[in-house]
Homo-oligomer: A and B are copies of this chain.
Amino acid sequence: MRLDPDRLLPTDPATRGVARRLYERVAELPIISPHGHVDPGLLLHNLPFGDPAELLIRRDHYITRLIHAAGVPLERLGVAERANGAGPAPGREVWRTFCEHWHLFAGTASGYWLTSGLVELFGVDRDPSAENADELFDMITATLATDEFRPRALFERFAIEVLATTDDPMDDLAEHAALHADPSFHGRVIPTFRPDAYLDPASPGWAERVAALAEWNGCAVSSYRGYVDALAGRRLYFREHGAVSTDHAMVVPRTVELGEGDAAALFAQALRGELSAAEATTFSGHMLLEMARMSVADGLVMTIHPGVYRNHSSATFGRFGPDTGNDIPLRTGYVEELRPLLERYGNDPDFHLVLFTVDETTFSREIAPLAGFYPSVYIGAPWWFLDAPDSILRFRAAVTETAGFYRGAGFIDDTRAFLSIPARHDMSRRLDSAFLARLVGEGRLELAAAERIAVDLVDALPRKAFKL
């Protein structure tokens, strides 16, 4: 196991030379991570990571899912069960199971990031296997106990300039505040407002969340106006704590125009538990439009992540909860779905709407053409299953000819795997260099322009799209 210094660059020697030159310009630039799922407490408390299973395996559903697919039950991978709240398998066992299945990750994005992390951070030089599992476990555990591997030390070593977390609208953001107030920490760690469960009446616990909003806002639970005001208020609270964006997930990114009277009526019906599935969709489509209206008002960037069938296996969900590898992409559309929103706010350049997708057919057909006209629309980086080498090159080829390079929002790592952050950003930089080098080689771009674009992709673009 080793890392080729030219990995992910084109195999054609001349093009590789150009790509290497472009990559060298961006390899060491600071990391801007405007969307992800790292726990802010990690950096606040700065406790050492435990062992490699805890760090790399049991919380990373990209990894557990593939071993599960090979027939290994999730409990053997240390995935926490809902009932008892803890994974039954000890770290050493989990790690060994992982090592035994290392071959499954060949060619995958996860395999690429794991390899990068194991080699670069821990100096591993052999493929993980049943034979060396214990030895690797002990070595990595010992390394993690050193001060150099505490979260803050890694944060600095990774050169992270901005790191956004993802947070519940009622989170008091105390950890963010404490981190911000801590004179010994200089990183910029910012929250993100993620209100899905407050906007969709079909989401379990919605009524309780509405009640919490009302309590915070000091209004009647039954007041639709109070509910909307509370959401606006919580957005401001987030903004005051450094947030620059709100994030929204939904199956279909439908937006719906609804008068206040109709919205209030549906809201009342929802509180009584009398909303049909279609009505719930109408209401949450309306609330998505409300979120856009508030974005225009408070300046928070709106990002949407649609098109995923969450918790496809209800048995797995029942036992292990969400984020356990059985979220599956669906065919997605944006053009008709987002039209009410774009009709209202699409031409406002101060409104920023970043569109993500897991249906790559939409890149050339819908997202690039939308972003190629509406000043508010930014193209989100390939996300989740598409955040991988060939997928990223397909993405670039799909959007660039229509929208150029300057309608993108930069790379996001979207990860809860803290250690994989540098490998992910590095992967993206290598692939953008590879793509640009091909255009140079094909006479479609001057080298000087490619050099400027390579830097803008990791610097100017995310700063602009996310108002950083």
Contacts and interface: CB of A to CB of B under 8 A. Distances in A.
Contacts of A333: 330-331
Interface string A4-32: 10111111111100000000000000000
Given A106-B449, A446-B1, A347 B316 contact: yes
Nearest to A371: B69
Contact of A328 (B4, B68, B370): B370
Nearest to A14: B11
A33 B23 CA distance: 42
Interface residues of A, number: 95
B329 A441 contact: no
Nearest to A358: B365
Given A107-B405, A316-B347, A391-B401, A328 B14 contact: no
Given A365-B360, A390-B401, A406-B103, A373 B325 contact: yes
A375 B69 contact: yes
User: Which of A107, A109, A394, A397 is most buried by chain B, counting CB atoms within 10 A of its CB?
Assistant: A107
A316 B65 CA distance: 47
A104 interface: yes
Nearest to A331: B333
Nearest to A359: B365
A350 to B, nearest CB: 9
A375 B68 contact: yes
A444 interface: yes
A192 to B, nearest CB: 25
A368 interface: yes
Contact of A438 (B11, B315, B388): B11
A335 B70 CA distance: 20
Given A108-B404, A407-B69, A364 B386 contact: yes
A122 interface: no
B400 A385 contact: no
A300 to B, nearest CB: 19
Contacts of A394: 397
Contact of A444 (B343, B360, B389): B389
A212 to B, nearest CB: 32
6 contacts: A69-B374, A69-B375, A103-B452, A104-B406, A312-B370, A389-B444
Interface of A: 1, 3-4, 6-15, 65-66, 68-71, 103-109, 111-112, 127, 309, 312-316, 325-331, 333, 335-336, 339, 342-343, 346-347, 349, 358-361, 364-366, 368-375, 377, 385-386, 388-391, 394, 397-398, 400-407, 438-439, 441-446, 449, 452-453
Given A10-B442, A389-B444, 6 more contacts: A7-B443, A8-B442, A71-B375, A108-B402, A109-B402, A313-B346
